[in-house]
Amino acid sequence: MKSTSYNLIMSALYNGRKGTRPPAGNPTSIVCHDLMDAAGISFPEAHVEANAMAELALAGHEIIGFDTVMPEYSVHQEAAALGCHVDWGSRDQMPDSRNFPYADFSEVEVPESILEKPSMRVVLEALSILRRHVGGKAAIIGKVMGPWTLAYHMAGTQNLLLQVGLGEKEKVSRMLRQLLPVSVAFARAQFEAGADIVVLADHATGNLVGAYHYQEYLLPLHQEMTAMIAGPLILHVCGNCLDRLELFADAGFDGYHFEWQVDSKVAVAKVGHRLCLVGNVNNAQTLFQGTPEDVRKQVRYAIEAGVNIIAPECAIPLATPIKNLKALVAAVHEGYSSGILLPEDCLC
């Protein structure tokens, strides 16, 4: 198999034949000030203009060297379409919602033409642009928010978690059920627009809710969603999710994008035979504050552990030095031939 960026990512997603090196991917944003300067494109334009969004995504592949392109840098595209007043931020500030339109848990009004709303249409147009430029060469990754994350945006994070803590299962489940079709429709549309893989971000993280909450509220919905979307899906949940890794596999996802809080060797031992594992280079201490050699050490550790796709653990801080992102890519190019690990020894 020719080791193109696309082939490396897609083979790794399905625990398939390994190429000459591990792939470097970015299921979430790798945009930093240095990359904006190098590409000549900045926020907030890249959140709201399709050409700017696509070109900045291309820069991560062409300038830094990632094997993927991922054009959605915000977590608020669906929220804006559902009635949140979104401040699209600036060069130094990521977007943020300024209100919670369904804090009372009333019936969520989903616009009939929600995919035509500007905040969602821009992503679909950017994916189409990327398909024309790098289709079949680099893996194109889309991103949608799952119903749990959308419920945070609709009702407010503290408010939602309070209702969960009070045992208001019917109220919470009703909102999740109302929001599920939005995630499904957006994911399907992203595949149609040109995505090879879609990341579903649903932040039922370990420091907010227990594994039993995921099993009770979200697992059945995620199982429905993976069946309905019927395309390659990577789940992203922040934080320490060691206690629910098997549940993520039970949900039917093809991969899981995970953070440094979960040791990669433990994650591979637990679910590496069931899920493609993506991650888990630390953002705050290593990519943002560390040196290129610090980055290389973490990449080597992840490769030795058997992580399938090496990636930052989450969206990187905007002030992350581009030299550290390039160090991540350089380390995967050292890959199996560096004497660290032979391909046949890599855990899958």
Q: How far, in Å, CA of 179 to CA of 34, rounded?
A: 36
pLDDT at 1: 47
Q: Is residue 232 within 8 Å of residue 254, measured between CB atoms?
A: yes
Spell 324-348 as b/e; 16+ CB within 10 A means b: bbbbbbbbbebbbeeeebeeeebbe
pLDDT at 218: 97
Q: CATH fold of 5-345, please?
A: TIM Barrel (3.20.20)
227 and 247 Cβ atoms separated by less than 8 Å: no
pLDDT of residue 347: 26
Report CA 26 to chain centroid distance, whole Å.
7
**Short-list 100, 54, 95, 103, CA closest to 76:** 95
| pTM: predicted TM-score of the whole model, two decimal places | 0.94
Q: What was the pLDDT predicted at 342?
A: 32
pLDDT at 348: 24
| Number of Cβ atoms within 10 Å of the Cβ of 230 | 11
The confidence score (pLDDT) of residue 20 equals: 80
How high is the pLDDT of residue 3? 80
Q: What is the pLDDT of residue 230?
A: 87
Q: What is the pLDDT of residue 336?
A: 63
Q: What angle do CA 249, 204, 61 make, to 5 degrees?
A: 70
- CB atoms near residue 52 (< 10 Å): 21
pLDDT averages per 10-residue partition of the chain, 348 residues: 85 85 96 98 98 98 98 97 97 96 97 97 98 97 98 97 96 98 98 98 91 96 97 96 96 97 96 96 97 97 96 97 98 69 31
